[in-house]
Amino acid sequence: MFKNIREDIRSVFDRDPAARTTFEVLTCYPGLHARVLHRLANILWHANLKWPARFLSYLTRGLTGIEIHPGATIGRRFFIDHGMGVVIGETAEIGDDVTLYHGVTLGGTSWRHGKRHPTLGDGVVVGAGAKILGPITVGAGAKIGSNAVVVKDVPAGATAAGIPARILDEEKKKTAGFDAYGIGNDQNDPLSKAIHGLLGHSVTVDQRIDFILQQLEKMGVCVEEERATADKFDPNHLNKIVD
């Protein structure tokens, strides 16, 4: 137990630059308190002391703002930063070195018994406000962007963002260092990519129209009015706005 607590404290220093002293972490970090109390509740749960386990979980929620069902399975060096509003369901399974931020939900999508909550692999980072729902798997090293709603499996090493969450271009690429809010270097979402594509298509269409006008001018057709009233836009400027 004490060895695990020491690991948890060390993981706080590794992932939160605001942490200054061990005493501060022990007394002021609700994520650490919730993890320690969950270990006790989990022991009671597996000892078939269901009500005491649930009651301890209930008290922990009041103390920390973090609700972890005593039946949830959690690995080593688990870190919840800020913590308020985190909900972890009964059949959730969390690997080692996983990080959750405030407002994260590992929830279910049905009232049926059995496995109904997510499984998170080792090293997963889940950004603030994200919802991971159903008996799906988030692969090791994956990142979930803030406020994402994930309802399908996420491959190992991928970054998922959006509502519903989609895999970004950097899927399965590994990046060095710790990314606090689960957002990759390439933050283009499908909507921005679609807009960039439309802007590029507009440039091509304008070039074709200009070519047609040139040919008409060679044939003696007056196109000055069409040129004067043609819409003018700067695609590079618009691309920067979308980014």
Of the candidates 102, 196, 201, 237, the residue annotated as catalytic is 102
Kindly tell me the sign of the dihedral angle through the C-alpha atoms of 226, 232, 236, 240.
negative
Q: Name, in order, each residue with C-beta under 8 angstroms of 56's C-beta and a sequence gap of 6 or more.
A: 37, 40, 41, 44, 70
CA distance 241 to 104: 30
Helix (H) or strand (E) holding 126: strand 125-126
Count other Cβ atoms within 10 Å, centred on residue 17. Answer: 8
CA distance 207 to 200: 11
| Residue pair 71/42 in contact by the 8 Å Cβ criterion | yes
Q: Identify whether 102 is a catalytic site residue.
A: yes
Burial of 113 (0-12, 13-18, 19+ CB in 10 A): exposed
Kindly list the catalytic residues.
102
